[in-house]
A and B are shown apart, each in its own frame.
Chain A
């Protein structure tokens, strides 16, 4: 009888247990600025605001500019919604960060989690993400500007990304990704498409505090004109303030908050003080 019981436990309970999903590889759909593999749970809404201030130090920062707090490099306001546990859709509006990028954008994204990490099962989570950004900027009279908008379609920019993440322990998660950004209009001499490599990680310090960091490296051969371009780098202190609120305070070099901005158009150099404070405010809700 006892033997049978043990057999039953081994046959049914253990595999069921081992198939347990690993949750909270990251706490938010964004690591600092780049996307994480996380999607919302069914019916969850996430309302978020991300802010990037002006340069912290250097000629445009320092005491005269209250360390950048007087300037807003970019602001994004948006929401996301979980259609099911693995598919989310989001809509946002951002000011536009880099002076080179299209601005006043409406952005629509879809994220689908194809694989979920399981205890003693699937070793990692895999998600795909797509973003369409539509610029509502006023037409420029300068034909050299991206905002000359010779064609309506030039207002659209796209980004596609695939990423894999693993939560190694309750302390540490790591993510790798590959992205492809397509611009319908690019500066002359640049190609429209840009491939990029993405990295992200989370180091949890306690239930509430964690450090998150991410980076995006555009492949330089695609960007000829601006050889001054820089990889995007970000680090943040993430705070779960309870009741479904995530807050982070970040340092990033990029001014922009969306992939179609900070991947092709980051030109800020950390060694020249061109990095900035920022924060993300996020609030989960269910109606």
Chain B
């Protein structure tokens, strides 16, 4: 036998213990000893990690090796942004949806300045400063920190039976959205798991929450007292009070009298932002729709003219109720809930169109 043969065997035996020592489940990535941390360091931690260290129970959508072998967050990211990835057999998966990619409707970054609130006014300001679009669905940033999904009025759209299945099950929520919202094929288990891993990458950090020095110090101390469960519980409670545990959804009916509108004074400058940051995200160059919209006079006139009408081009109609897809086959426009676009912003849009489309 050649000498290097021995070397190889020796190396493999030598390296075997490191294989045994590898993290056994990916959740371990989120669990780190925290009692020796200073508050500064604490701010860099994931919210979930801190909660976990304080003894909070793990949510059902934690990912671990047993849930799917082939999943990875990179594949999840691919699915989210490109609608396809490399499958277990080494070839490209069929595209999830030919209509939409997840990012047509969901942001992947923070979009609310105050994570406790779902205030469309504050969001518009924040989104403008950060150059992100205003979309009909909620951001997936921090989605793993939420405890319930498809809340409020979504059960009216998808039916109480379906929503009951997904309400406390993020995996099922992803699947429902892939089929029901993105109008595509069902995701395989490993694909759902991959998207989930990608979502775990976008979980809240302690620094995302709004802390006073005292509060942070309190959490810090609670972490150092493994036996004071009462203190730990109030720390958990404190952390969870810093962000909304779900995104509420209230459908927003169009005004009864569409000519009169919601009876609010529209602000044209804000309306322009609404138009650019929401409508053009999908309609510019027909990116996610058949209707091409831009800032040219034809587009603006069309929308202005139909705004108060009962027609397919009425912005009241499409914003408040969306448009209907043919089952599984077609582009459709998702509706905006009150939490995603306020009546005031709809009036702002109208004011902008009226100002721009003056003959």
A interface residues, Cβ below 8 angstroms from B:
21, 23-24, 41, 43, 170, 204, 206-208, 242-244, 284-287
Contact of B302 among A43, A207, A286 (CB under 8 A): A207
Can you list 23 contacts pairing A with B, beta carbon distance less than 8 Å?
Answer: A23-B285, A24-B292, A41-B286, A170-B294, A170-B296, A170-B297, A170-B298, A206-B301, A207-B301, A208-B302, A242-B290, A242-B291, A242-B312, A242-B313, A243-B290, A243-B291, A243-B323, A243-B331, A244-B290, A285-B329, A286-B331, A287-B98, A287-B329
- Within 304-336 of B, Cβ neighbours of A (below 8 Å) are at 312-313, 323, 329-331
- Rounded to whole angstroms, the CA-CA distance of A242 and B98 in the bound complex is 19
B301 close to A285 (CB less than 8 A): no
Please name 18 further chain A to chain B contacts, defined as beta carbons within 8 Å, in addition to the given A23-B292, A284-B290, A286-B98, sorted by A numbering: A24-B286, A43-B98, A170-B294, A170-B296, A170-B297, A206-B298, A206-B301, A206-B302, A207-B298, A242-B290, A242-B312, A242-B313, A243-B290, A243-B291, A244-B290, A285-B330, A286-B330, A287-B98
B330 close to A21 (CB less than 8 A): no
- Rounded to whole angstroms, the CA-CA distance of A246 and B208 in the bound complex is 48
Q: State the majority secondary structure of interface residues on A.
A: loop
Say yes or no: is B241 at the interface (Cβ < 8 Å to chain A): no
- Rounded to whole angstroms, the CA-CA distance of A243 and B298 in the bound complex is 17
Interface size on B, residues (CB 8 A): 20
Residue of B nearest to A209 (CB): B298
Chain B residues positioned under 8 Å from A21 (CB to CB): 285
Chain A residues positioned under 8 Å from B298 (CB to CB): 170, 204, 206-207
Say yes or no: is B99 at the interface (Cβ < 8 Å to chain A): yes
Chain A residues positioned under 8 Å from B330 (CB to CB): 243, 285-286
Chain A residues positioned under 8 Å from B285 (CB to CB): 21, 23
Say yes or no: is B234 at the interface (Cβ < 8 Å to chain A): no
Say yes or no: is B93 at the interface (Cβ < 8 Å to chain A): no
Residue of B nearest to A43 (CB): B98
Say yes or no: is B35 at the interface (Cβ < 8 Å to chain A): no
Across chains A and B, which 5 residue pairs bring their CB atoms closest together, nearest first?
Answer: A244-B290, A207-B302, A207-B298, A170-B296, A43-B98
- Rounded to whole angstroms, the CA-CA distance of A129 and B38 in the bound complex is 69
- Rounded to whole angstroms, the CA-CA distance of A172 and B285 in the bound complex is 17
- Rounded to whole angstroms, the CA-CA distance of A286 and B330 in the bound complex is 6
Chain A residues positioned under 8 Å from B312 (CB to CB): 242-243
- Rounded to whole angstroms, the CA-CA distance of A287 and B291 in the bound complex is 18
B210 to chain A, nearest CB (A): 27
Say yes or no: is B74 at the interface (Cβ < 8 Å to chain A): no
Residue of B nearest to A23 (CB): B285
Say yes or no: is B67 at the interface (Cβ < 8 Å to chain A): no
Can you list, as one digit per residue, whether each of B255-286 has a CB less than 8 Å from chain A (1) or not (0)? Answer: 00000000000000000000000000000011
B60 to chain A, nearest CB (A): 34
- Rounded to whole angstroms, the CA-CA distance of A285 and B325 in the bound complex is 11
Contact flag A286-B296 (CB < 8 Å), given A23-B285, A23-B286:
no
- Rounded to whole angstroms, the CA-CA distance of A224 and B47 in the bound complex is 84
- Rounded to whole angstroms, the CA-CA distance of A88 and B291 in the bound complex is 21
Say yes or no: is B299 at the interface (Cβ < 8 Å to chain A): yes
Residue of B nearest to A287 (CB): B329
B134 to chain A, nearest CB (A): 21
- Rounded to whole angstroms, the CA-CA distance of A170 and B299 in the bound complex is 10
A21 to chain B, nearest CB (A): 7
